[in-house]
A and B are shown apart, each in its own frame.
Chain A
Amino acid sequence: MAASTRLEALLTQRLGRSVRAGEVVEAPVDLVMAHDATLALLIADFERLGLSVWDRERVVVTCDHFTPPARIDWANLQKSVIAFTARHSLPGLRMYEGICHQLLLEDPRVTPQSLVVGADSHTTLVGAVGGFATGLGATDILACLARGRTWFRVPESIPIILTGTRKPWVMGRDLALTLLAHFGEEGASYQALELVDHTEDTLSMDSRAAICCMAPEMGAKAALFIPDAVTSAFLAERDHADPLIPDSPLYPYTNGESLQIDVDTVDSLIAQPHSPANIVPVRQAAGVRLDQVYLGSCAGGRLEDLAMAAAILRGRRVARGLKAIAVPSSVTVMRAAMARGYVQALLDAGVCISNPSCGACGGIDKGVLAHGDVALTTTTRNFQGRLGPPDSAVYLASTATCAASALTGYITPPDMVWEEAITREVDHDARLGAGR
Chain B
Amino acid sequence: MTHALVLGDNINTDLLHPPRFFAADPEAAAQGFLAGLPPELARQFSPGDILVGGRNFGCGSSREAYIRAFRAAGVACVIAHSFSRIFYRNIINAGIPAACHPTLYQQLPQGAAVQFDRTAWTLQRQETGQVIALEAPEAHLRGILDAGGLLAYLGLETSHALRC
Residue positions of A touching B, CB distance < 8 A: 24, 37-38, 40-45, 48-49, 51, 73-74, 77, 80, 119-121, 135-140, 142-143, 146-147, 151, 185-186, 189-190, 216-217, 219, 221, 275, 362-364, 381, 383-386, 390
CA distance A80 to B23 in the complex (A): 12
Given contact pairs A24-B140, A41-B64, A121-B62, enumerate 18 new A-B contacts (beta carbons under 8 Å). A24-B138, A38-B63, A38-B64, A41-B63, A41-B164, A49-B156, A51-B156, A73-B28, A137-B64, A140-B150, A151-B140, A219-B56, A221-B85, A364-B19, A381-B12, A383-B12, A383-B15, A385-B14
Nearest-neighbour CB distance to chain A for B160, whole angstroms, equals 13
CA distance A38 to B28 in the complex (A): 16
- 1/0 per residue B35-70: CB within 8 Å of A? 010000000000000000001100111111101100
Q: Who on chain A is nearest to B66 by CB?
A: A137
Q: Who on chain A is nearest to B88 by CB?
A: A190
Nearest-neighbour CB distance to chain B for A292, whole angstroms, equals 17
A49 cross-chain contacts in B, Cβ below 8 A: 151, 156-157
CA distance A151 to B150 in the complex (A): 11
| Cβ-based interface call for B111 (8 A) | no
Q: Who on chain A is nearest to B68 by CB?
A: A41
Contact A41 B65 (CB under 8 A): yes
B164 cross-chain contacts in A, Cβ below 8 A: 41-42, 44-45, 138-139, 142
| Cβ-based interface call for B74 (8 A) | no
Known: A186-B55, A390-B36. A121 touches B60 (CB 8 A): yes
CA distance A394 to B67 in the complex (A): 26
**Can you name 15 A-B residue pairings with CB atoms under 8 Å?**
A45-B164, A77-B23, A119-B62, A138-B67, A142-B164, A186-B82, A186-B84, A189-B82, A216-B86, A219-B56, A219-B59, A363-B18, A383-B13, A386-B18, A386-B19
Contact B150 A143 (CB under 8 A): yes
Nearest 5 A-B pairs (CB), nearest first?
A363-B19, A137-B90, A186-B56, A383-B14, A139-B93
Contact B63 A386 (CB under 8 A): no
- In this complex, which of B64, B84, B163 has the most chain A Cβ atoms within 10 angstroms of its Cβ? B64
Contact B24 A139 (CB under 8 A): no
| Cβ-based interface call for B94 (8 A) | yes
Nearest-neighbour CB distance to chain B for A145, whole angstroms, equals 10
A138 cross-chain contacts in B, Cβ below 8 A: 62-64, 67, 90, 164
B 148-164 contacts with A by CB, 8 A = 149-151, 154, 156-157, 162-164
B90 cross-chain contacts in A, Cβ below 8 A: 137-140
A137 cross-chain contacts in B, Cβ below 8 A: 62-64, 67, 86, 89-90, 93
A186 cross-chain contacts in B, Cβ below 8 A: 10, 55-56, 59, 82, 84
CA distance A138 to B138 in the complex (A): 22
How many A-B pairs with Cβ below 8 Å? Answer: 138
Nearest-neighbour CB distance to chain B for A185, whole angstroms, equals 5
Contact B89 A364 (CB under 8 A): no
Known: A77-B24, A189-B84. A139 touches B15 (CB 8 A): no
Nearest-neighbour CB distance to chain B for A298, whole angstroms, equals 13
- 1/0 per residue B122-164: CB within 8 Å of A? 0000000000000000101000000001110010110000111
A120 cross-chain contacts in B, Cβ below 8 A: 62
| Cβ-based interface call for B121 (8 A) | no
Contact A275 B62 (CB under 8 A): no
Q: Who on chain A is nearest to B91 by CB?
A: A137
Contact B20 A38 (CB under 8 A): no
Selected contact of A383 from candidates B28, B60, B67, B93, CB within 8 Å:
B60
CA distance A217 to B12 in the complex (A): 11
Contact A143 B63 (CB under 8 A): no
A37 cross-chain contacts in B, Cβ below 8 A: 22, 63
A121 cross-chain contacts in B, Cβ below 8 A: 60-62, 86
B85 cross-chain contacts in A, Cβ below 8 A: 189-190, 219, 221
Contact B163 A139 (CB under 8 A): no
Q: Who on chain B is nearest to A387 by CB?
A: B19
Nearest-neighbour CB distance to chain B for A311, whole angstroms, equals 32
CA distance A275 to B14 in the complex (A): 11
CA distance A385 to B63 in the complex (A): 16
CA distance A77 to B59 in the complex (A): 25
Q: Who on chain B is nearest to A73 by CB?
A: B23
CA distance A428 to B128 in the complex (A): 71
A185 cross-chain contacts in B, Cβ below 8 A: 10, 56, 59
CA distance A143 to B82 in the complex (A): 25
Contact B62 A385 (CB under 8 A): no
Nearest-neighbour CB distance to chain B for A174, whole angstroms, equals 22
CA distance A218 to B157 in the complex (A): 34
Contact B19 A384 (CB under 8 A): no
Q: Who on chain B is nearest to A135 by CB?
A: B62
